[in-house]
Structure 1
Amino acid sequence: MTDVNTQVKMRRHPVGDLTDDDFVVEETALPVPAAGQALVKVLYLSLDPYMRPMMDPLRSYIEPLKPGDLMPGTTVAEVIETTDPELPVGSVVVCSMGWQTHGLVTKDTCRIVDPSAGPLPAALSVLGMTGATAHYGLLELAKPKPGDTVVVTAASGAVGGVVGQIAKIKGCRVVGIAGGPAKCRYVVDELGFDACIDYKSDTFEQDLAAATPDYVDVLFENVGGPVLDAVLTRINDHARIALCGNISQYNAEEPYGIKGLRHLLMQRVTVYSFVIAEHREYWPGAIAELADWLGEGKIAYREDIADGIHNAPKAFRSMLAGGNFGKQLVNVGA
């Protein structure tokens, strides 16, 4: 067993697009578990868009990072040393270890997972926070009805892909928005959306109008910026918007204002903004239902896995620029 813990920390508050200089990799001694603690080795790290706003020194729903802080993140890890019989060596847990190779947990700060229930990385995607986000935002907040037209931005991404498939299960017509022909083909051919529009196309707005002849009843919004404004021109009376993300703006030095605000008023639209971490009590039921759908072949998903903790910053930057295909993970032990 190695006696070194490798960590990736935020070196400074970034300005605009991230660079290598915004991160620093450090090695420290392995922590020693005290009574009631277990030492874990991180297997997989989830990279998520919410991490980028945390790097800015701005007021938010969570305390922003300070220079020198460990980058945050949810992980799948294996117990390698323990003082708690409820966390035996060899147990696999989901915990918030952040961007590092090792860390300490207690039974109250982790969740034991059954490796036979499915691939371990799925606990960080469709059977974890990602799936719970999609389930809650769509079904608990936006409440689509059979026959509704549901538009999903970032449709090839981890959350968006699950949202669209749930909407199909519920009898909706689903239109995705993604970047590039390959992602659009994946959304239609593998995820089963009725259509997918390439926001990078010169005919994006015309294609969106053609794909939503009856306008948009539900928007699951992950992107913001001009893409959001384009969809707002197609929004229906009394539509519902689940505002989950704003990834197009996370690296922006100047914020992009919503130009389509009048449509929210004229069409009497309800907007639900949410952070899934505030609804932990919802997760177990959502994940259980997603597991059933996954077992029945009704849900498909894709993962984009980078190798090694040292490559986490590069993979994170690529994800923010739309370079990932599916859920972005890091195989920490590779």
Structure 2
Amino acid sequence: MKWPWLKGRGSRNKLRLSLRCNGRQIAYVLSEPGLNQNLPCPLLRWGAIALDPELAFEPAVDQALQALNLNAGEVIGLLEPEEYQILKVDTPNVPNEELKAAARWQIKELVEKHLDDLTLDVMHVGGDVPRVQRQLFVVAARSTAVELRSKHCAAAGLALQVVDTWETALRNLQTLKARSEGLQERACAALLMMENHCLLTISAGGELFYTRRLDHDPRLAARATGQLVVKAQQEAPLGFEYTPGADYLSPQDDSEESVLIIELQRSIDLWERSWPELPLARLYLLSAEHGEAVAALMQRELGLRTLAMGPAQLFSGIDEAELSEPARLRELEACLPLLGAALRQESRAL
């Protein structure tokens, strides 16, 4: 999305800086677009820096951005999920130049903020795929969030030119992965799984068709890695006959079906009913750790080919040896939503 007051500056600097701030830290990814169209894509620098708890929020953000000492010709600011809504509405029967104005009235009862406090952008569901009744994605972002990002970037000598969303960033990443497997025209799903966020998208031909935010299930990774086995002498139920070396698998942890898996299946079922001509070819999982194990578990539960999108395999600037350090692994998780933003193509409308 390009907002009217974010003016691009002519620059010979071809580097792209993608940023996000979750209130506790600033995460960043520095890349050079177009340097390599094949996997792995090169990252020049990535990481996260904590905000100073002794400072108020705004000066803490300014200080952190200045401390990074990053320079780029293009700066992308990624909104946090709580700072915007993405809604799907029927496409109004108006010329393209009037779509935003028409969509504004369609969503007035659906948004959490007053319309005057929101900045809108729209894009067609599925791009130009023919449909009897076409639909729009409407992104309703808090204007203050957009303005603050521009202000903080300016204080650090950076020119914010693009404001992006997690949904479109994840679309970019799964499109790259699907293209590498010759599935660029097939419908593929992607699940971003983080500690506090879970996001599902379905794309085909480089266009976003479906998106849904889900509740994270921390037990899923524990189940996939066998960490839910509880020692018998610690939590064995009454009547359990203990023998040395025996383990007790908690019925609550093992037998209760994952809410995340249930909601994923519901989304897949809805997709199959809504787009029968585009059956899902893959589910890609993006996670900072345990991706292979969780993908294998999901494939068994869902009956859908599921593959992990390992960040170190997608981007050459991520060293797997570094990820053995817990602090560096946490930084990588903070950067996961930014990886797709680093792949943004200028030709896209959103």
The two structures have a TM-score, normalised by structure 2, of 0.29
Q: Which has the larger radius of gyration?
A: 2
The two structures have a TM-score, normalised by structure 1, of 0.30
